Amino acid sequence: MAIFLTILLIELIAADAGADALFGFEVMMTFIQQMGLGILFGIIGGFGIAWLLNKLVNLDPGLYPISGLAAALVVFSVCALFGGSGFLAAYVAGVVAGNRKVRFAQRLRRFQVGMTWLAQIGMFLALGLLA
């Protein structure tokens, strides 16, 4: 929701719209569309990711984390392509797939911890460079 509000305010500032445009019907419909499609694609994508990771039998175990990351990026991209919130779709897909039983779950968790650390380091570096 925060990403939606940020983008909405930036678009309103860029379009030089007044305060009456904030509560328009179009804004409400855009919000409902983004949230609805984000949740829908997230649920479908989460079950799809879990199914995909369980069906990849002949894949090297080291490639399972990369496959999971690629599938999450596909969920994000497809949802954004249809006008939904890709961030919400990726989050919901992660919650759904994370609560399903998948092969090599421990290996996936270690990869996700490493990616989390890299993202945090990058974020603090970027914020430190801006200060």
Q: How far apart are CA 37 and CA 100, in angstroms?
A: 22
For the ranges 4-8, 41-45, 94-98, 123-127, the maximum mean pLDDT occurs at 41-45
Residue with the bigger pLDDT between 121 and 106: it is: 121
- What is the pTM assigned to this prediction? 0.78
Q: What is the DSSP letter of 31?
A: H
pLDDT beyond 90 at 78: yes
Q: How far apart are CA 101 and CA 54, in angstroms?
A: 8
CB 75 within 8 A of CB 90: yes
Number of neighbours of residue 91 by Cβ within 10 angstroms: 18
